[in-house]
Every structure is written in C-alpha cells, then in structure tokens.
Structure 1
Amino acid sequence: MAGRLREMRCELSFLKNADGSACFSQGSTCIWASCSGPGDVHASKANEEAMTLDISYRANCGDNKFSVLNNIIQSTLSKAINLELFPHTGLVVTIHGIQDDGSMGAVALNGACFALLDNGMPFETVFCGVLIVRVKDELIIDPTAKQETASTGKVLFAVCKGTDGFPEVCSMDVIGNWDYLQLEAAWSLAQPSASAIFDFYTSVMKRKHSVDEQ
C-alpha cells in the first residue's frame, strides 16, 4: 500500500465576487471553487422546506455540460449541510478544474468544502475527498494521473467527520471490480488521510481568522 498524501495548498477568498472561494491543490492537481448563497432562487426551483443546491464541476477542457462528479458532490453536501435551515433559498457551488494530475474528484470535494468554510456556511459536519486506486495488487492513495491511468479500479470516498471525531463514509463512488476485503483495505488506507485533511482544514481556518482579527 502507498499511503502518503501529496502536499496540500490552499488560498481562501480567492475569487472576490463570490461569497466564499478557494484555490486548492494537492500535488499538481489544482481547482478553483466558489459558492454563492444562501440567496434568491428561481420560483421553479424553490423548495418550501429546504435550500436548493446547484452544483457544477467544470473541467478545463472537454464537455462541461455535466460531470459525474456533480452527483457525489451533491449527495455529500446534502448530508454535510442542514438544508432545512434555509428554505426558499439556493446555494450555487462551482468547481473549476484548473490542472489535473490525478485525484481530481477528491481535490474537487476538498476545494468545495474550503469554499463553504470561507463562506461561513453552518455545517452538520465537515467533509473531504480521498481517492484510492488499485494498480496490480497495490492500493495507492491520492494517485497521480499516470497512476490513475494504470489502475484497474478506483474508489472515491467522500468522508465526513463523525460525532466522535473519527472519519465516516458519507458517499462513495466505485469503478471496477472490488471485493469486500479490498474495499475494507481501501477504507483503512483512506481514514488516516481523511484525518490529515481535516487537520489541514483546521490549520488553514486558524490562519484565516488570525489574519482577519489583526
């Protein structure tokens, strides 16, 4: 198993016209994430009981009409945020893939969480993304694009912090054939990495608030 995350970097409030935004990278993979809301929503989309989510991931090339990442981001945010606090409103979250050197799904989830934290969105729980791939018989965390291309299976974990502080699976996207033992091994590899990402969130937010208070 290869269980080392690439170096993470984050700049908050990166896009000045958004309510919350972040430029986030892991290794050479980089995204820009922004969110606006809760705010007005078109009457046709308004929900009397909960906030409406509008999620859009856009790659730096190719067809951007829809991305499979939208589904896991949408389901994760639906669990991480108490949408019932903001009925009749909408939240727009946009993630732009700037440079893709692997693990784009995980990086998109992490960047989206940073943008929401920057916005001050009240969370039920914070979340992060961890991608595990299988290359031959080896499990690799946070793979590069070359490692992803060589893989025979992928598991993208959307991870939430449980009430006890330990990582819990929030959503999951599996590609390829995996048996139960392989998924268990992948989850065991993902958990300490998720904890490291949550610690990184804390350090970045502490830095932001210490700067804001000066």
Structure 2
Amino acid sequence: MAARIREMRCELSFLKNADGSACFSQGSTCVWASCSGPGDVHASRANEEAMTLDISYRANCGDNKFNVLNNIIQSTMSKAINLELFPHTAITVTIHGIQDDGSMGAAAINSACFALLDNGMPFETVFCGIQIVRVKDELIIDPTAKQEAASTGKILFAACKGADGYPEMCSMDAIGQWDYIQLEAAWSLAQPSASAIFDFYRTVMKRKHSVDER
C-alpha cells in the first residue's frame, strides 16, 4: 500500500471579489475555489428552514454544465455546515480545476473547505477529501494521473472530523468493483491522511489569523 499524500499548498483570499477563496494544490494538481454568501436567493428557491447550497465544479476543459463531483461536495457540505442558521439565503461555491495530475476529486473537496473557512462559515465539523485507486491489487492514496489511468478501481472519500478528533466517513463515491474487505482496507488507509489534511487546515488557518508582533 502506498500511504503518502503529496505536498499540499494553499493560498487563502486568492480571489478578491469572493467572500472566501482558496488556491489549493496537491502535488501538481491545482484547484481554485470561491464562495459567495450567505446572500439573497430567489423566492422560488428559498428554503424556509435552511440555507440553499449552489455547488458548481468546473473542469478546465469539456462540458461544465454538470459534474459528478457536485453530488459528493453538496452532500458533504450539507453535513458539515449548520445550514439552519441561515434560512431564506443561499451560498454559492464554485470550484475550478486548473491543473489535473490526479486526485482532482479530493483536491476539489479540500479547496471547497478552505474557501468556506476563509469565508468564516459556521461549521459543525471540517471536512476533507481523500482519493484512493487500486493498481494490480495495490491501494494507492492521492494517485497521480498516470496511476489513475492504470487503475482498476477508484474511491473518493469525504471525511469529517469527529467529536473525538478522529476522521469519520461522511460521503463516498466508488468506481469499479470493490468488496467489503477492500473498502475497509481503503478507509483504513485514508484515515491517517485525513488527519494529516486536518492538521494542514489548522496550520493554514493559524497562519491566516496570526498577529505579527514585530
């Protein structure tokens, strides 16, 4: 099993016209994410009990009308954010895949969380994405595009930080045939990486909010 995630980098408040934004990279995979709101929403789409989520992932090429990543991102955000605090409003989250060298789904989820953190949204829990592929019966975490192309199965986990501080599975999307034992092995591999990503969140946000005393 290959259990090491690539180097992560993040720049917050990357886009000036957004309420929250982030430029996030894992290895050579780079994603921009922005969010606006909570703000006004048309009466036909307003929810009297909760905030409306508008999620849009856009690849750097191809059809951008709808992407399968929208479902797992929306499902994860619905569990991680207290939407009931802002009824009759909407928040728009837009994610642009700038450079894809594998694990784009995980990078998209991570960039969305950073954009929301930059916006100051009230979280029930932070969340992150971890992608795993199977290549010749070996599980590889945070795969490159070359490893993804050679894979016979792919799993995208969305993990939330549990009350005890340990990662909990929030959402999952699997491609290919996976039995229960393989899924358990993949999740066991993903958990330490999720903890490492949560530590990275803390480091980046601490840097954002630190005060220069010089």
- d(CA) in 2 for partners of 1:149 and 1:157? 19
Seen in structure 2, the aligned counterparts of structure 1 residues 147 and 188 have a Cα distance that, compared at 3 Å, is: same
Q: How many residues align?
A: 214
Structure 1 residue runs without a partner (length 5+): none
Matches within 5 A, 1:14-33: 14-33=14-33
Seen in structure 2, the aligned counterparts of structure 1 residues 161 and 147 have a Cα distance that, compared at 3 Å, is: same
Partner of 1:171: 171
- TM-score normalized with structure 2 length: 0.98
1:44 Cα deviation from its structure 2 partner: 1.1
- d(CA) in 1 for partners of 2:27 and 2:44? 41
1:2 Cα deviation from its structure 2 partner: 0.2
Q: Deviations over 1:56-108 (max 9, x none)?
A: 00000000000000000000000000111100000000000000000000000
Residue 13 (str. 1) matches residue 13 (str. 2): yes
Q: Deviations over 1:178-204 (max 9, x none)?
A: 011100000000000000000000000
Structure 2 residue runs without a partner (length 5+): none
Q: Deviations over 1:27-74 (max 9, x none)?
A: 000000000010001111100010000000000000000000000000
Task: Name the amino acid aligned to 1:79.
Answer: K
Aligned to 1:50, the other structure's residue is in SS state coil
Task: Name the amino acid aligned to 1:124.
Answer: E
Aligned to 2:210, the other structure's residue is in SS state helix
Aligned to 1:33, the other structure's residue is in SS state strand
- d(CA) in 1 for partners of 2:45 and 2:73? 19
1:212 Cα deviation from its structure 2 partner: 7.8
Residue 40 (str. 1) matches residue 23 (str. 2): no
Partner of 2:128: 128
Partner of 1:112: 112
Matches within 5 A, 1:77-116: 77-116=77-116
Seen in structure 2, the aligned counterparts of structure 1 residues 123 and 213 have a Cα distance that, compared at 3 Å, is: farther
Partner of 1:69: 69
Partner of 1:2: 2
Provide the aligned C-alpha RMSD in A: 1.0
